[in-house]
Amino acid sequence: MGARARLALVATVAVVGCWGWAAQADAFVYWANNGSGAIGRANLDGTGANQGFMTGLRAPGDVSGVAVDGEHIYWTNLAADTIGRANLDGTGANARFIAGGSDPFGVSVDGRHIYWTNIAAGTIGRANLDGSGANQSFITGSSFPSGVTVDGRHIYWNNYYGIGRANLDGSGADENFIPWVADSRGVAVDGRYVYWTSLATNSIGRANLDGSAIEAFFIEAANEPFRVAVDAQHIYWTNGRTNTIARANLDGSGADQSFIAGANTPYGVAVDGGPAGSAVPSTARLSFKPQPLGTLGPPQSLTITNNGHGNLKIDAARITSGDVDDFLVSHDTCSQRTLTIAATCAVHVRFGPSATGDRQAMLTLTSDDPAAPLQIALDGSVG
């Protein structure tokens, strides 16, 4: 049976990955109206719903997945085997931004790449943010992958058997990372949990990021939940039976199955970034005690806290400028990490002078903080 025939038999949906952010006036929730071939949009409080925010993308039944980042909207064109892209205001639409897919269904995006599921080929595709370097077989061997999401360390997807996971470079793929999830077609992730939809049980499930503490019925009484998205305050999902976008608090309380009404077979759902987070260090300088020449001293710790109004996506912590060979990052829980509001991470630095005199360098943290890069002065001497 072909992928499109299987789509007619099961109510599959496009899973959208999203980065979690605080609710802001300039942020929106988006959804793919598969029944009309349009993308809808509303304010995060549910007001201002526009079911035809973007229209004419493809014929009805083709638009199944949607994702957003700070600049663009991305969607899947199932029949055309393409990924589309437009500006956040809906202008500049390019329906063939990435071509050559194989029934692309779900789509996700992070700070470096676009990811999508190829249902017919059983693969996860990946390309650079500008659409170059497309690899339709970035991850292979999946069974009917429908949705995909990504965080700072892993890629997650839905398959026939449950939730799969792989490292960001595509290695270490595990089809049964979370096994025996009943008819799941949507997956999302934030800084603490993996969330998924279950069509068989009309529920939203949740587990820790390591796959433990599975709560199969975290949120119940949904109406054919297809896709799921999460930001810093809420969980969103699409209800295929009632043509609504639903929402609940992060702890699962306050579920509103008709948060946004009037959709047309909504499949994908995504929440845009809104404002970025703010990287605040525990100290502006790390000063090391005098250390014998050619020996490595004990580590000093630096804590980074996200004090902004949205999630903070951290790229890397590196020693830059000055005596770079005299300082070593020995422990790092910040690089390739997304910090939710008020979350922290740590970097440990050690000092080992290679020459006499005062030794100085910078620890540089790159992120999506508008004030980035963050630089911490490092200094030490031979003793």
Q: Which CATH superfamily is domain 279-381 in?
A: Immunoglobulins (2.60.40.10)
Q: How many whole angstroms separate alpha carbon 311 and alpha carbon 97?
A: 27
pLDDT of residue 19: 34
Which two three-digit tokens encode residue 325?
């060979």
pLDDT tens, N- to C-terminus, the chain (383 residues): 344 333 332 322 333 333 333 334 468 999 999 999 999 999 999 999 999 999 988 766 689 999 998 789 999 998 899 999 999 999 999 999 999 999 999 999 987 899 999 999 999 999 999 999 999 999 999 999 999 999 877 999 999 889 999 998 999 999 999 999 989 999 999 878 999 999 999 999 999 999 999 999 999 999 999 999 998 789 999 999 999 999 999 999 999 999 999 999 999 999 985 667 889 999 999 999 999 999 999 999 999 999 876 778 898 999 999 999 999 999 999 998 888 777 899 999 999 999 999 999 999 999 888 788 999 999 999 98
- 122 and 142 in contact (C-beta within 8 Å)? yes
CB neighbour class for 210 (10 Å; exposed up to 12, middle 13-18, buried from 19): exposed
β-pair partners for 188: 195
DSSP string, 230-247: E-SSEEEEEETTTTEEEE
Query: In whole numbers, what is the pLDDT of the chain averaged over residues?
Result: 89
- List the end-to-end C-alpha distance of the chain, in Å, as a whole number: 73
| Report field, pTM of the whole predicted structure over 0.75 | no
May I ask the CATH class of domain 3-271?
Answer: mainly beta
Which two three-digit tokens encode residue 96?
């063939």
Which two three-digit tokens encode residue 55?
């229209």
- Which residues lie closer than 8 Å to 198 by C-beta, 6 or more apart? 181, 182, 183, 184, 204, 205, 216, 225
Is the dihedral angle over the CA atoms 6, 8, 12, 15 positive or is it negative? positive
pLDDT of residue 4: 36
The 3-state secondary structure of 38-79 reads: EEEEEECCCCCCEEEEECCCCCCCCEEEEEECCCEEEEEECC
Cβ neighbour number for residue 64 with a 10 Å cutoff: 33
Residue 327 carries which side chain, given as an amino acid letter? F
Ramachandran region, residue 142 (left: φ > 0; alpha: ψ -120 to 50; beta: rest): beta
SS3 246: strand
Which two three-digit tokens encode residue 170?
């595509």
**Residue given tokens 């360390």 in the structure block:** 153
Which two three-digit tokens encode residue 258?
């008709």
pLDDT tens profile 251-272: 999 999 999 999 999 999 999 8
Q: How many residues does the chain have?
A: 383
Whole-angstrom CA distances from 73 to 22, 87, 128, 138, 261 are 19, 6, 15, 22, 22
pLDDT of residue 20: 34
- 186 and 197 in contact (C-beta within 8 Å)? yes
Query: Which of 279, 289, 360 minimizes the C-alpha distance to 315?
Result: 279
pLDDT of residue 275: 64
pLDDT of residue 274: 61
pLDDT of residue 6: 35
CB neighbour class for 25 (10 Å; exposed up to 12, middle 13-18, buried from 19): exposed
Residue 314 carries which side chain, given as an amino acid letter? I
pLDDT of residue 61: 65
**Residue given tokens 């992120």 in the structure block:** 367
Number of helices (H), then strands (E), in the chain = 1, 33
Angle, CA 235 vertex, CA 60 and CA 40 arms, to 5°:
25
Q: How many whole angstroms separate alpha carbon 55 and alpha carbon 296?
A: 61
The 8-class DSSP code of residue 144 comes to: S
Can you say how many angstroms the Cα of residue 321 is from the centroid of all Cα atoms in its chain?
32
Q: How many whole angstroms separate alpha carbon 49 and alpha carbon 28?
A: 10
- Which residues lie closer than 8 Å to 75 by C-beta, 6 or more apart? 32, 39, 57, 63, 65, 66, 67, 83, 84, 85, 107, 268
Q: Do domains 3-271 and 279-381 have the same CATH topology?
A: no
pLDDT tens profile 29-68: 999 999 999 999 999 999 999 999 999 887 666 899 999 9
- Domain ranges, ordered by start, for the chain: 3-271, 279-381
Furthest-apart CA pair in the chain: how many Å?
Answer: 74
Q: How many whole angstroms separate alpha carbon 7 and alpha carbon 235?
A: 25
